[in-house]
Amino acid sequence: MTSFRLQSRGSHARCALCHSGADAEMLTCAGCGSAAHFSCASEWGRGCPSVGCRRALSQAAPALSPRPALRPRPVSPWSLGALLISSYVLASLGVRWVATGAPLRGWALLIVLLELGAVAAVLLEERERLD
């Protein structure tokens, strides 16, 4: 099966038909933002060259809204501390379990369950904060 990966080139505007650089006489599609030279669009004669778009090309610039910038949100020190301590406790109990071969019983099992609950709570808190 063939798979495709789409990614932005980050290059300057170019004609959707001949793929050469943009010039002063570019026509744009108000629907999808595709651009074409006036001469290329005249030769094409069918409106927007993008697959599935049926709008006409015009000289007006497309009404595209800029993407909001993503701002990283800081992680609270309490969440980070709880996650680190929980990970340490779980790892040390796991090493003990593997080294001795003894199943976790009593207090050890209770600690594991509490630590898993703490990790889940921290992860849910961070997820809610990001949404």
Distance of CA 72 to the CA centre of its chain: 13
Provide the pLDDT for residue 9.
57
Q: Which domain holds residue 18?
A: 13-63
The answer to whether residue 38 sits within a structural domain is yes
> Based on the structure, what is the number of domains in the chain?
2
pLDDT for the residue 8: 59
Specify whether 53 is located in the same domain as 93. Answer: no
Residue 52: predicted pLDDT: 81
pTM for this predicted structure: 0.37
Taking the chain (131 residues) in consecutive chunks of 10 residues, what is each chunk's mean pLDDT? 62 76 79 83 81 78 58 72 79 78 72 78 74 61
63, 86, 101 — which closes off a domain?
63
CA distance 43 to 30: 20
| 83, 122: one domain | yes
The length of the chain is 131
